[in-house]
Amino acid sequence: MSEKAVCIHGHYYQPAREDPLTGEVGKEAGAHPYRNWNERIHDQCYRPNAELGNFEKISFDLGPTLINWMISYDPATFARIVEQERRNYERFGVGNGMAQPYHHTILPLAKRHDKITQIRWGIADFEHRFGHKPTGLWLPEAAVDNETLQILADEGIEFTILAPWQAEDSQIDVGLPYWVELGEGRRITVFFYEAELSMRVSFDPAATSNGDRFMTDFILPRLSANGHHTDDARLYIIASDGELYGHHQPFRDKFLYYLTHREFTHPRLVQFTYPGLWLRQHAPSQTVRIRENTSWSCHHGVARWKEACPCAPNGDWKMKLRQALDWIADQIDDEYVKTVSPFTSDFWELLYAYIEVLHGKISARDLIRRELSEGLEESEIQQVDLLLRAQLYKQRMFTSCGWFFEDFDRIEPRIVVVSAAQAVWWLRQASGVDLIQPAKERLAEVRSWRSNLRGDQVFMNHIERLRYEQLSFPFVRTEIERF
């Protein structure tokens, strides 16, 4: 009888909800009786799952922007998560946590240097928080292209997890890991999750009302059906939004605990493990090609995050938002390159290293002098510092949830537009290049079909707050908050 194992993967993420001016997450509609959605989700999901020890028993990725907030709001809960992951790392030499790109950007839609920024920052953040390098990285919305996989391999990432329909071969055996050949001697391992079991956990609340019944009615029959009459060992991954366990579906934190803790279940016919550990004994033996520009949450590739798409009706505003932010990003990049390139040919390396500033390991001043020149004038250091701040908010304005839903008049799209306004402001402070009017004109075409709220209104509201701040406190410059 071949060895069979199951892995439950939880993908955990929240965008950077902090107000750029205050560094605080304010009150948010719909989160009552909590102040905001972070606090509500934390109380329903993160805290109880950490208290139950569930993070030790599953595979998971935890977004950096969520971690930043959690450390300030409830450091004890985050410490529990780190400790649970560390137990696996110390016992087996490989942990069960995976990295996540820093701002949850849809990477196939990003430029190469932005892909590298998001991936390097995400890897560095994982190592900073968990104390060891990650072996795996979860791609935002599992959105993938070959260039992204090449960068992962270059950065030392061993594997990622995709949906089965993201393989060119529709008949792949999802119980096996596969090599994806990337050229020039590079390759990476890809796991494909088990779609039926993942669907049951994610969208069938009745199926997860009882852990024993889920094991006997779904896991065991599915493993038997997927056997293919071979002797190959198999790992079946159940991929899910981690906030399902207690937030989207009440009491599923207890379901997860019951299912994954041996002492509370019937005699085991399968083992629970995680991909990094499984690979130590079960290396890939087959290769597969991926379908580029695909994802796990859009049936039209990555259209959901750039244009109108049937996955989220009434999305005509999305293309205008994407075009406006792409234009802003191009202007910021052009000014950054023009300013930094006289000092170094590796001008993007400075941006990649900026994660050290966000982690408080080095001041922006010292980083700039280290990466560019010890002999820079004070005015030059200040200009580059401000351009790096513009780059930070440029990264933040592409967080995926800004395009995920059906309407512009939601918290998530407003976050990305506010980030764009902050990026434009820092660019103006750095170089005098004023994008406010042309950005406003482009964003005026972004309109909510429900409320008629326009993108330029959100944009200018934040610009006016910044102008008031500058007039009221002319000698105080907003500091970078933790992102």
How far is the C-alpha of 116 from the C-alpha of 64, rounded, in Å?
A: 16
Taking only the tens place, the pLDDT of each residue in 315-352 is 999 999 999 999 999 999 999 999 999 999 999 999 99
**Per-residue pLDDT, 322:** 99
CA-based torsion, 403, 408, 409, 415: positive or negative: positive
Q: How many whole angstroms from its chain centre is CA 421?
A: 22
User: Going by DSSP bridges, is the β-strand pair 159-162/59-62 parallel, antiparallel, or unpaired?
Assistant: unpaired
Per this entry, what is the length of the chain?
Answer: 483
Candidate from 7-11, 447-451, 468-472 with smallest mean pLDDT: 468-472
Residue 234 pLDDT > 50: yes
Asked whether the beta carbons of 162 and 191 are under 8 A apart, the reply is: yes
What pLDDT is recorded for position 225? 75
**Cβ contact 396:14 at 8 Å:** no
State the alpha helices, DSSP H only, in 238-298: 252-260, 275-281
**What is the percent of the chain where pLDDT is above 90?**
89
Q: In Å, what is the CA distance from 416 to each residue of 108, 157, 199, 404?
A: 18, 28, 30, 12
Mean pLDDT value across residues 174-193? 97
Task: Label residue 80 exposed, middle or buried (CB < 10 Å: 0-12, 13-18, 19+).
Answer: buried
Mean pLDDT check: name the lowest of 1-10, 178-187, 389-398.
1-10
| Domain-wise residue ranges, the chain | 4-281, 309-472
Band the pLDDT of 430: cuts 50, 70, 90: very high
The 3-state DSSP class for residue 77 equals helix
Helix (H) or strand (E) holding 98: strand 97-98
Judge if the upstream peptide bond of residue 250 is cis by omega within 30 degrees of 0: no
Architecture of the domain whose range is 4-281: Alpha-Beta Barrel (3.20)
Statement: residue 1 has pLDDT above 60:
no
Helix or strand (DSSP H, E) at 393: helix 378-396
Query: Where are the extended beta strands (E) located within 193-311?
Result: 234-241, 271-272
pLDDT tens by residue, 119-175: 999 999 999 999 999 999 999 999 999 999 999 999 999 999 999 999 999 899 999
- The pLDDT assigned to 472 comes to 66
Kind of pairing, strands 186-192 and 178-183?
Answer: antiparallel
Q: Output the six-digit token pair for 421.
A: 């306004």
